[in-house]
Amino acid sequence: MPTYARQAVTFERGEGAWLWDIDGKRYLDAIAGIAVCNLGHAHPAVHQALSEQSGKLLHTSNLYGIDLQAKVADKLTQLSGMDNVFFCNSGTEANEAAIKLARKFGHQNGIENPVILTTEKSFHGRTMGALSATGNDKIKQGFAPLLPGFIHVPYNDIAAIEAAVSADSNIVAVLIEPVQGEGGVNVPASDYLNQIRQLCDRHQILMMLDEIQTGVGRTGSFMAFQQNGIKPDVCTMAKALGNGVPVGACLASGKAAAVLTAGNHGSTFGGNPLACAAVLAVLNTLSDNDLIANAKIKGQQICDQIAQKTTGNPHIKQIRHLGLMIGVELDRPCGELVGKALAQGLLINVTADNTIRLLPPLLIDEQQIVFLTDTLSALIQEFTR
Ligand SMILES: Cc1ncc(COP(=O)(O)O)c(C=O)c1O
């Protein structure tokens, strides 16, 4: 079905931050499959884990024990500080699990019509629950009736959450992105998550974080919330967890960890041996290297270089980032920059119409950073002239 407006390029192979198309032309991948290939392409540890596992066992279903799934759950809870994990196959599914968990939590507390608060400009996925949670009317158009039980307030506005929660006793949870990705790389105030944590504790509602884009080292810590020294009740992950192998996870802690019980939720593929072999390789590689710390340093380098190479350009409204989640907001729609960059061997993305989004692999090196910032800055200068 024609559900995608694709760029006119087809890739054949990759290595680290580089991709080659079917004609042999090389590109620097500064979008990493939309925050998926944090370890770059064809990472040897992931390759080895997948090839070994595919010769052993791909799938048995969750009717039986899965040793690798238990190992991944141990590692994930250790790295995130959460208590337990439900495995699925994508980000939207991870959010569906969170939505179900929040609703059941509400019912357990005598609330018949539980409501989940999310934010305007948020993106939580395309299935009906996650789509209803999403705060973007454009992508909901044509799909009514949406699921009831969601309200949206402005992002980065703690007073708006407080007012909504105080006014509606049916609110059982908030679902928030630590940095809005699709909504324009919107980085909130540094204490936004801390304030949400306090508010949720005060009102005894669940703090749920959608870390599907921010998680797995992207922002300079394994989970973005770790930079705030807090722990949510629920967080969702996907994207970079399998470095390209489809896998998602919904993690819970404390009271939230006991809500979903046998028979409440499930997935045929979720957490199968093949996916878990990839995840384990990803998590071990991240733990054994400086890649997560580097995300902070490299994100800053990229932003500094772009700022320096475009000094004085009044059409750049803001360059913002958390680690290697970077947005360069222009004063005008700039979607055509994607094709211009592609022609010069650079993959970028534009989101929210006027924000150039960069999500390079965490292992991007100094030379690649210079190529990225030279190419992009020159394009911005020419485009805004
Ligand atoms: C914050 C966030 N949540 C959910 C999703 C949906 O994930 P998926 O496309 O794997 O269903 C995305 C995807 O872009 C996302 O960025």
Tell me, yes or no, whether 141 lies in a domain: yes
- 100 belongs to the catalytic site: no
Is the beta carbon of 91 within 6 A of some atom in ligand 1?
Answer: yes
How do residues 53-106 score in pLDDT, each as one tens digit?
A: 999 999 999 999 999 999 999 999 999 999 999 999 999 999 999 999 999 999
pLDDT in tens, 147-165: 999 999 999 999 999 999 9
My answer on whether 150 and 68 are in the same domain is yes
Residues 23 and 55 in one domain: no
343-381 pLDDT per residue, tens: 999 999 999 999 999 999 999 999 999 999 999 999 999
Strand partners, 173: 116, 206
61 and 34 belong to one structural domain: no
Q: Is 211 in the pocket of ligand 1 (CB under 6 A)?
A: no
Q: Kindly name the residue from 75, 104, 239, 340 that is annotated as catalytic.
A: 239
Percent of the chain clearing pLDDT 90 (strictly above): 99
Domain contains 6? no
Residue 123 Cα to ligand 1 middle (Å): 7
Query: Exposed, middle or buried: residue 55 (CB in 10 Å: 0-12, 13-18, 19+)?
Result: exposed
User: Which of these three, 240, 270, 288, is where a domain ends?
Assistant: 288
What residue numbers bound the domain in which 130 lies? 45-288
The answer to whether position 193 is within a domain reads: yes
Task: Assess whether 123 carries a catalytic annotation.
Answer: yes
Residue 294 lies in a domain: yes
pLDDT at 289 (0 to 100): 85
Supply the CATH number for residue 342's domain. Answer: 3.90.1150.10
Query: How, if at all, do strands 325-330 and 355-358 pair?
Result: antiparallel
- In the three-class reduction of DSSP (H, G, I as helix; E, B as strand; rest coil), residue 54 is classed as helix
Does a structural domain hold residue 4?
no
| Mean pLDDT along residues 102-114 | 98
Say if residue 281 is in the same domain as residue 298. no
Q: Are residues 228 and 308 in the same domain?
A: no
Residue 230 inside a domain? The answer is yes
Provide the pLDDT for residue 139.
96
CA 122 to ligand 1: nearest atom: 1
Task: Write down the pTM of the prediction.
Answer: 0.98
Ligand 1 centroid from CA 126, angstroms: 8
- Same domain, yes or no, for 65 and 210? yes
What single-letter amino acid sits at 275?
A
Question: Does residue 123 come out as left (phi exceeding 0), alpha (psi in the -120 to 50 range) or beta?
Answer: beta
Q: Decide whether any atom of ligand 1 lies within 6 Å of the 215 Cβ.
A: no
Substitution candidate for ligand 1 out of 213, 223, 243, 250 with most atoms within 8 A of CB: 213
**What are the helix (H) ranges across 170-325?**
192-203, 273-288, 291-309
CA–centroid distance, residue 124 to ligand 1 (Å): 6
User: Does 182 sit in the ligand 1 pocket, CB within 6 Å?
Assistant: yes
Examine the domain organization and report whether 235 and 194 are in the same domain: yes
Residue 288 has pLDDT above 90, yes or no: no
Structural domain ending residue among the three candidates 288, 311, 326: 288
In a domain, 384, yes or no: no
| Phi, psi angle pair for 304, to nearest 5° | -60, -45
**Residue 127 alpha carbon, nearest atom of ligand 1:** 11
Q: Do 58 and 169 reside in the same domain of the chain?
A: yes
Q: Atom of ligand 1 at shortest distance to CA of 239?
A: 10
Catalytic residue among 86, 87, 105, 123: 123
Q: Which one of 288, 319, 354 terminates a domain?
A: 288
- Ligand 1 centroid – CA 344 distance (Å): 28
Do residues 109 and 125 share a domain? yes
Number of domains in the chain: 2
Active site residue 222: no
Q: Quick one: 297 and 211 in the same domain?
A: no
| CATH number of the domain bearing residue 272 | 3.40.640.10
**Do 95 and 242 lie in a common domain?**
yes
- DSSP 8-class letter at 147: P
Q: Count CA atoms closer than 13 A to 99's CA, side-chain side.
A: 25
| 96 and 206 part of one domain | yes
